[in-house]
Structures are given as structure tokens and as C-alpha cells.
């Protein structure tokens, strides 16, 4: 479990297999020996599908110096998902997917 701004994220996972095909917010993290560093954040109706087929994967790999991992916070409703994503995006740096 990873906690960000009071939201609990499942993971981190080194593959997308454990992700659920439900609505939520995802974090792409660069796992280094000393800590996790944020790479990207987003929201999707189907977290597993979005992360598996993401158009910014090249950016993730370019920005990572450790091991890429993913974590997910599952939340129903588009407005709630977007609110969680915005709350996290405003508090942390994300080199990929700036909005």
C-alpha cells in the first residue's frame, strides 16, 4: 500500500496483471533503492486497460532510472476520479503527462 494525500493506493506492482479492470486513479512510479519517484498520474474507467495500453509509456521509460511500477486507487464515478487525480497532480511533480 502507498498513501498519497490521504488516498490509499494498492501496489506498487511491477506488472499490470494485479491491476483491476475498474474505475480509478493510477500512479506510475520510478522505484529506486532509496525511495519511489513519481513519473505519471492519471484516471481511467478501466485502470488495467489504460495502463496496459498507455500512449505515454515511452516517456515513462525515458524518465525512469530505476524500476517502473504502478499503483492504483479505485474510485467510482468520473467526477470523483478526476478530483482525486487533480488533488494528487497539484501536490507532486509529474514529468510525464503534464496538464
Query: Cα 43–47–51 angle (5° rounding)?
Result: 90
What's CA 37's distance to the chain center, in Å? 11
Fold of 2-89: GIY-YIG endonuclease (3.40.1440)
pTM: 0.93
Q: What is the DSSP letter of 35?
A: -
CA distance 65 to 83: 29
Domain ranges for the chain, please list them.
2-89
Instruction: Give me the average pLDDT of each 10-residue run along the chain (99 residues).
Output: 93 97 97 94 97 96 94 96 95 83
Amino acid at each position: 500500500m502507498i498513501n498519497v494525500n490521504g488516498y490509499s493506493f494498492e501496489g506498487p506492482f511491477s506488472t499490470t496483471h494485479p491491476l483491476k479492470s475498474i474505475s480509478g486513479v493510477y500512479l506510475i512510479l520510478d522505484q529506486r533503492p532509496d525511495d519511489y519517484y513519481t513519473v505519471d498520474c492519471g484516471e481511467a474507467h478501466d485502470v488495467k486497460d489504460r495502463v496496459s495500453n498507455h500512449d505515454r509509456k515511452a516517456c515513462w521509460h525515458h524518465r525512469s532510472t530505476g524500476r517502473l511500477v504502478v499503483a492504483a486507487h479505485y474510485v467510482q464515478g468520473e467526477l470523483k476520479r478526476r478530483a482525486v487525480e487533480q488533488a494528487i497532480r497539484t501536490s507532486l511533480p509529474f514529468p510525464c503527462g503534464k496538464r
